[in-house]
Structure 1
Amino acid sequence: MKIRDNSRIEQGVTWLTDWRVWTVIISSILGAIAKFIGGYFYGSKALFVDALTSLANLVALIATIYYYSKTHLPPDLDHHFGHHRLGFTGALVTVIAYSFVAGLVVADLLYTKTYSVEVHAPLLALIGLIFYSIAIYVSRRISEYFGPYSAFTISELLESITVIVASLLGYLYTYIVDYIGAIIIVSYLFYELQDTLRDLVKILSDVAPPMKLVEETRKTIEKHGVKVERIRLRLVREGFYQGDITISLPPDITIEEAHKITDIIERELKNKYNIDVAIHIEPYRTEK
C-alpha cells in the first residue's frame, strides 16, 4: 500500500469543514449498512464476513479522522516539532480493528454449518460496492493519513466483488461457493494487514530521504559559500522532512553574518524541499 500525501494541513482546513471527509463518512456508513443487512438477513456467509470488515472499517474511519484532526495542532510543550505523526495513530487503530475482525471471522468459518443463500444478498453486495467506491475515491485525495484507511477500503471493494459472485453462485448452485468466497475475503484481509504494517514500520522508523534529495540539499547549501560537514534527515510524512545539518564557515565571518546565512539556508530548504532543519556551525577546517 502506497501512502500518499495530498494534505491540506498547511492551508488550515479541518475535517469539520472538509466536504470530502463527510462524503467518506456517509458513504462508508451506507455501505456498511447495506452489507450488514445482506449478510445477516439473507444468509450469505461471504457477505456476513464482508459486513464484519465493514464495521472494522467504520472504527478505522473514526480513528483516522480523529487523529487526522490532531495533526493540525501547532507545536506545544509536549510536541516541540508539531503533531504530524499523530495522524498515523489512526493507521494503528485500523490495523487493530481489522486484526480483531480477522480473528472473529476465522473462528466463525471453522464452525460453520450448512446454510442457504437468498437472492437479495448479491444485490445488497452491489449497493455496498457502489458506496465504498465513492469512499475510496474521495479518501485518497484528503491526506496521506487516510492511506491505510483507503487501502483497507479497497479491500472492501474487492470483497464486494467477490461476494457478488460468490453469493450469486451460492444462491444458484450451492452454499459451498459462497463459503469459499468468505475464505478468499479473510485471506486477502491478512495480506492487507501485513502490507499495511510494513508501510507503517517504514514511515515510523525515521527512514532517510532518497539520496538524490540529500545531494540536492547539499548543493543548495554549498552555493552559499559554506562547507557541509554532515546532513541528517528523516521522513516525517511523505513530502516532509526534519533533521539537522552541520556546516563550517571561514573564521573571519562574524556571528551576525553566520546567523544571516543560516536563516537564508533554512528558509530555502523549507520553501524548496519542505525540509525543517536545525543548523549547527563549526569553524572552517582547511585540508592539509
Structure 2
Amino acid sequence: MERKGKAEAGAFISIVAYIALAVSKLSVGYIAHSDGVKADGWNNFSDVIASIAVYIGMKIAKKPRDHNHPYGHSRAENISSLIAAFMMMSIGIDVMTEGVLALFRPEKEENAPDLLASFVAVASAFVMLSIYSFNIRLAKRTNSLALAAVAKDNLSDALVSIGTVVGIAGAQIKLLWLDPLVAVLIGGVICKTAWEVFMETSHTLTDGFDEQRLTAYKREIAAISGVKDVADIKARMLGNDIVLEVTIHVDPHLTVAKSHEIADEVERLMKNRYNIEATHVHIEPEKIP
C-alpha cells in the first residue's frame, strides 16, 4: 500500500506540471503565432487528462478486496492506463490534422513565430526532463507500470519541446513551413506514445509477462537447497504487484514439514530479491526412474 501511495505522488506531480505547461504554451502559442507551441500545449492538455485517469486508477487500485473482487482492485491501474492511451491517441490525431492544414494555409507565409515561443519550449523541456527523471526512478522503486507509462510520456514531452524549438528556429530564418511541420511531428509523437502505452497495458491485462524475468526466477529457485527441479513457473501482474506460481520437485522421502520449509524458502527468496509478495508454491515428489 505504501508503494502505491508513492506512485500516486508521481502521477499527481505530473498533473500539476502538465496543467501549468498546457496553460502557458496555449497562451504563448496564440500570442506568438506558433503552431508548434500550440500543438505542444494541446499535447500537455492530453497529458493532464491521461495523468488524471491514471491517478484515479491508482486510487481505485488501493481499495481492499471484497466479495466481488477476491484478488482486489489492482488492475484498475492498468485499465486507467488503457483509457489514457485512447485519450492521447484522439488528441494526437487532432494535432496532426491541424498541423497538416496549417502547412497548406496561404496566410501562414505572413507570420513567423515570435522568439517568446522558443523560450517557453526550452523551459518546458527542462521541466519535463526533471519530472521524467523523478518518475522513472519512482516507477522502478514501486514497480508501477502505470507510473512507468507516465514517465515515458514525460520523456516524449521533453523531446517534443526540443523539436518545437527547432521548428521555431527554422521559422526565424524564413523556413516558415518548419513550425507547422513540427506540429505534425508532435501529433505523431503523441500517437506513438499512446500506441506504446496501449500495447504494454494490453500485454499486461492479457497476462503477458517478460520471459527473461521468468528465466531469472527459475534459475534462482532451482539453486535453492532441496529443490530438485522447477517443473513449471508462470507469473502475471495485478496492478503493480507480481503474482508468481511455481511447481517444484523435491525428494519424495521428505516429511511434509521439510517440504514446507523449502516452499517457505522459495517465497522468502522471491520477496527479498525481487519484491514479489505473492508466490504460490506447488510441491511434487521427484520422479525416480
TM-score (norm 2): 0.79
Q: Which protein has the bigger helix share?
A: 2
Structure 2, unpaired ranges of 5+: none
Match runs of 1:125-274 below 5 Å: 125-143=121-139, 144=144, 145-204=146-205, 205-207=207-209, 208=211, 209-220=213-224, 223-224=225-226, 226-228=227-229, 230-236=231-237, 241-249=242-250, 252-274=253-275
In structure 2, do the counterparts of structure 1 residues 81 and 24 end up closer, same or farther at CA, with 3 Å as the change threshold?
same
CA contact (8 A) 1:24 1:134 kept: no
- Alignment counterpart, residue 90 of structure 1, candidates 80, 86, 89: 80
In structure 2, do the counterparts of structure 1 residues 47 and 256 end up closer, same or farther at CA, with 3 Å as the change threshold?
same
Match runs of 1:91-130 below 5 Å: 91-112=81-102, 113=105, 114-115=107-108, 116-119=111-114, 120-130=116-126
Tell me the distance in 2 between the aligned counterparts of 1:284 and 1:130: 58
1:286 positional shift? 1.8
State the secondary structure of the residue aligned to 1:285: coil
State the secondary structure of the residue aligned to 2:208: coil
In structure 2, do the counterparts of structure 1 residues 231 and 79 end up closer, same or farther at CA, with 3 Å as the change threshold?
farther
Tell me the distance in 1 between the aligned counterparts of 2:7 and 2:152: 20
In structure 2, do the counterparts of structure 1 residues 156 and 268 end up closer, same or farther at CA, with 3 Å as the change threshold?
closer
Tell me the distance in 2 between the aligned counterparts of 1:111 and 1:265: 60
In structure 2, do the counterparts of structure 1 residues 37 and 141 end up closer, same or farther at CA, with 3 Å as the change threshold?
same
- Alignment counterpart, residue 39 of structure 1, candidates 4, 29, 47: 29
Tell me the distance in 2 between the aligned counterparts of 1:11 and 1:193: 25
Tell me the distance in 2 between the aligned counterparts of 1:195 and 1:25: 20
Tell me the distance in 2 between the aligned counterparts of 1:167 and 1:56: 22
Number of equivalenced pairs? 274
Identity of aligned residues (%): 19
Tell me the distance in 1 between the aligned counterparts of 2:221 and 2:192: 37
Structure 1, unpaired ranges of 5+: 1-8
Tell me the distance in 1 between the aligned counterparts of 2:175 and 2:272: 62
In structure 2, do the counterparts of structure 1 residues 217 and 179 end up closer, same or farther at CA, with 3 Å as the change threshold?
same
Tell me the distance in 1 between the aligned counterparts of 2:171 and 2:215: 53
1:22 positional shift? 4.5
Q: Letter of the aligned partner of 2:83 in structure 1? A: V
In structure 2, do the counterparts of structure 1 residues 187 and 253 end up closer, same or farther at CA, with 3 Å as the change threshold?
closer
State the secondary structure of the residue aligned to 2:237: strand
Q: Letter of the aligned partner of 1:164 in structure 2? A: V
In structure 2, do the counterparts of structure 1 residues 239 and 219 end up closer, same or farther at CA, with 3 Å as the change threshold?
farther
CA contact (8 A) 2:149 2:197 kept: yes
In structure 2, do the counterparts of structure 1 residues 14 and 182 end up closer, same or farther at CA, with 3 Å as the change threshold?
closer
Tell me the distance in 2 between the aligned counterparts of 1:23 and 1:134: 11
Tell me the distance in 2 between the aligned counterparts of 1:269 and 1:146: 23
Q: Letter of the aligned partner of 2:218 in structure 1? A: V
Let me know the Cα RMSD of the aligned residues: 3.1
In structure 2, do the counterparts of structure 1 residues 48 and 140 end up closer, same or farther at CA, with 3 Å as the change threshold?
same
1:58 positional shift? 0.6
CA contact (8 A) 2:57 2:78 kept: yes
CA contact (8 A) 1:85 1:237 kept: yes
1:31 positional shift? 1.3
Any idea what the Cα deviations from partners look like across 1:198-251, whole Å, max 9, x if unmatched?
Answer: 43344444224342331211222xx13x54362222242799642323344555
| Worse-superposed segment, 136-145 or 246-255 | 246-255
1:49 positional shift? 1.3
Q: Letter of the aligned partner of 2:130 in structure 1? A: I
1:55 positional shift? 0.7
